Structure 1
Amino acid sequence: MRLRNKPWASKVIEENSQVVIPNPKECKGKWHTVFENKNPIHVEVGTGKGRFVTRMAEAHKDRNVIGMEKYDSVILTAVERIIEKPLQNIRLIKEDVELITDFFAPGEVDRLYINFTDPWPKNRHEKRRLTSSGFLQKYVDLLQENGEIHFKTDNEGLFEYSLESMSQFGLKLKNIRLDLHRSGMEGNIMTEYEERFVEKGMRIFRVEAYK
């Protein structure tokens, strides 16, 4: 999908350093200081336009929520959402998930969310999948002892791959849903993509993995 260029995005991001952390490497191991509390730290990688993280922060004031998104034109919408409805327990990082270990110390993250990531269906692109072993190693390094990865997708092939990848990596799996919105699960917070897929009657797949 082609991203619409928004030349004003970088200026808005720079002007809202209280929302988008300008030097996230300096926060490594110090996120509780940033939030001025010791609440659990939850991170969404590829946060897109920020609907999930903003709703998560609004619904759970006892969690510190951080969204990662590398594109200015995409994260801009997340910034605008937070400005419109200020929340003290949310921050954004404008960086690539490949660098995630630069921003969080080992054991600093309580939960990590991966929602509707690019499936990268070709075999030669396997390493780009956010549930491949290379990324799982990064996540596990950051998660505390009982930390979890919550993964949702509309792509059945990616879901099957992810279950196998996580299992082979040594993660334990629980709450596997093959049709999330017909499973009776409560407390699910939808992303923009998810709402669109559900309206079309598509199945949503979900799993929780833990160390």
Structure 2
Amino acid sequence: MRIRKKPWAAKYIQDHADYIVTNPQNWTGRWQERFTKTQSLDVEIGAGKGQFIIQMAKQHPEINYIGVELQESVIATALRRFMTDPLPNLQFVLTDGADLDEFFHPNEIEKIFLNFSDPWPKKRHAKRRLTSPRFLKTYQTVLAHDGQIEFKTDNRGLFEYSLVTMNNFPMHFDEVSLDLHESPENETNIETEYEEKFSPNGPIYKLVVHFNS
């Protein structure tokens, strides 16, 4: 999907540098300095317009959160939403989530959220999927030894692909949901903007996994 460029985005990001990072390599090993407290660190790859990560930070002040997003106009929208009620335990990063191991140290992250990632449905694009083996290897590096990946999608093909790649890696499945919104886990589920819009069209699939030691 083509993202409409927002002419105000770049300056807005520049004017709110206390809450957003555009040069993540400069913060390697120093992420806790961005927060008021040193706490467990969770990361969402593909934060979109910020609804999920902002609500997580509100509900869990004991955890520090980072929302990673590649699209400048999208993350600027998330930042503007966030600035209506800034939180001390949330930061945004404008960068490609494929490069996590370039700006996070090994074992630094407790949980990674993958919410409604691009399914890249064509077979020749499989390596671009955020649950492909090369991405899983990166997550294994930056996650704590007992860290988890939480994955949600409405795309059955991506869900089935992810089941296979995670099982073959191998990983341990802590939760598998074929219809999240009809399960008990939905009581604590925080929806993304995409999830709100498209969940009436079909089931939401969810996986929570961790790497075998």
TM-score category (smaller protein): over 0.9
Residue 202 of structure 1 corresponds to which residue in structure 2?
202
Task: Summarize the alignment of residues 40-59 of structure 1 with structure 2, pairs less than 5 Å apart.
Answer: 40-59=40-59
- Amino acid across the alignment from 2:35: F
Residue 93 of structure 1 corresponds to which residue in structure 2?
93
Residue 79 of structure 2 corresponds to which residue in structure 1?
79
Task: Summarize the alignment of residues 28-177 of structure 1 with structure 2, pairs less than 5 Å apart.
Answer: 28-177=28-177
CA shift at 1:77, angstroms?
A: 1.0
**1 CA distance for matches of 2:99 and 2:111?**
17
CA shift at 1:78, angstroms?
A: 0.7
- Amino acid across the alignment from 2:26: E
**2 CA distance for matches of 1:18 and 1:103?**
18
CA shift at 1:201, angstroms?
A: 4.4
Provide structure 1 residue ranges, at least 5 long, that are not aligned to the other structure. Answer: none
**1 CA distance for matches of 2:15 and 2:102?**
23
**1 CA distance for matches of 2:60 and 2:42?**
11
**2 CA distance for matches of 1:176 and 1:8?**
41
**2 CA distance for matches of 1:2 and 1:33?**
35
CA shift at 1:98, angstroms?
A: 1.6
Secondary structure, aligned partner of 1:58? helix
Residue 20 of structure 2 corresponds to which residue in structure 1?
20
- Amino acid across the alignment from 1:39: Q
Number of aligned pairs? 210
**2 CA distance for matches of 1:41 and 1:101?**
15
**Aligned structure 1 segments of 4 or more residues deviating by more than 3 angstroms:** none
**2 CA distance for matches of 1:140 and 1:92?**
22
Residue 191 of structure 2 corresponds to which residue in structure 1?
190
Secondary structure, aligned partner of 2:62? coil
Contact 2:34 2:91 in 1 (8 A): no
Provide structure 2 residue ranges, at least 5 long, that are not aligned to the other structure. Answer: none
Contact 2:173 2:209 in 1 (8 A): yes
Contact 1:19 1:82 in 2 (8 A): no
After TM superposition, the score normalised by the length of structure 2 is 0.96
**1 CA distance for matches of 2:210 and 2:118?**
22
- Amino acid across the alignment from 1:9: A
CA shift at 1:82, angstroms?
A: 1.3
CA shift at 1:17, angstroms?
A: 0.4
Contact 2:36 2:89 in 1 (8 A): no
- Amino acid across the alignment from 1:11: K
C-alpha RMSD of matched pairs (Å): 1.0
CA shift at 1:187, angstroms?
A: 1.3
**1 CA distance for matches of 2:11 and 2:31?**
25
Secondary structure, aligned partner of 2:21? coil
After TM superposition, the score normalised by the length of structure 1 is 0.96
Contact 2:36 2:88 in 1 (8 A): no
**1 CA distance for matches of 2:122 and 2:24?**
33
